[in-house]
């Protein structure tokens, strides 16, 4: 089982993670508001963005889309499966968006250091 990483609505609260080139695994996150409370995600749409920190461009997996699953929606627990294995090493910023009507809330970032074996 994966450790649960808390993603805060505060962009200055950065989380860290690491992975190997060639890995594709499930990450489990809990979305947390600025008061430290879980965010109820029962209704709304989730999205994920991967950014190459060094260039500011989108990190490319080559193909596919991430799979986001609401695990325990009332507790803000989600799982994210990357679109594919990490193809290159580098530092990636992962952020999650949660949209209800016209209101978009952002959570994260998680800085993922992808290492070459």
Each of the 117 residues of the chain gets a pLDDT tens digit; together they read: 468 999 999 999 999 999 999 998 889 999 999 899 999 999 999 999 999 999 999 998 988 899 999 999 999 999 999 999 999 999 999 999 999 999 999 999 999 999 998
Residue with tokens 């060094």: 54
Q: In this predicted structure, what is the pLDDT of residue 3?
A: 87
Q: Are 112 and 94 in contact (CB under 8 A)?
A: yes
Q: In this predicted structure, what is the pLDDT of residue 63?
A: 85
Residue with tokens 């959570």: 107
What is the layout of strands, in order, in the sheet containing 45-52?
15-20, 103-115, 90-100, 45-52
- Rounded CA separation 79/7 (Å): 12
Q: In this predicted structure, what is the pLDDT of residue 2?
A: 66
- Rounded CA separation 45/88 (Å): 29
Q: Please name each of the domains of the chain with its CATH number.
A: 4-115 (2.60.40.10)
Q: In this predicted structure, what is the pLDDT of residue 1?
A: 44
């Amino acid at each position: 089982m994966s450790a649960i990483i808390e993603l805060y609505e505060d962009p200055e609260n950065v989380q860290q993670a690491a992975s190997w080139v060639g890995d594709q695994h499930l990450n489990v996150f809990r979305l947390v508001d600025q008061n430290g409370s879980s965010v109820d995600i029962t209704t709304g749409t989730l999205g994920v963005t991967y950014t190459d920190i060094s260039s500011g461009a989108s990190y490319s997996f080559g193909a596919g889309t991430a799979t986001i699953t609401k695990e325990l929606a009332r507790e803000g627990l989600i799982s994210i499966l990357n679109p594919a294995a990490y193809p290159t090493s580098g530092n990636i910023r992962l952020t999650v968006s949660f949209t209800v009507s016209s209101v978009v809330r952002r959570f994260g970032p998680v800085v993922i250091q992808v290492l070459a074996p």
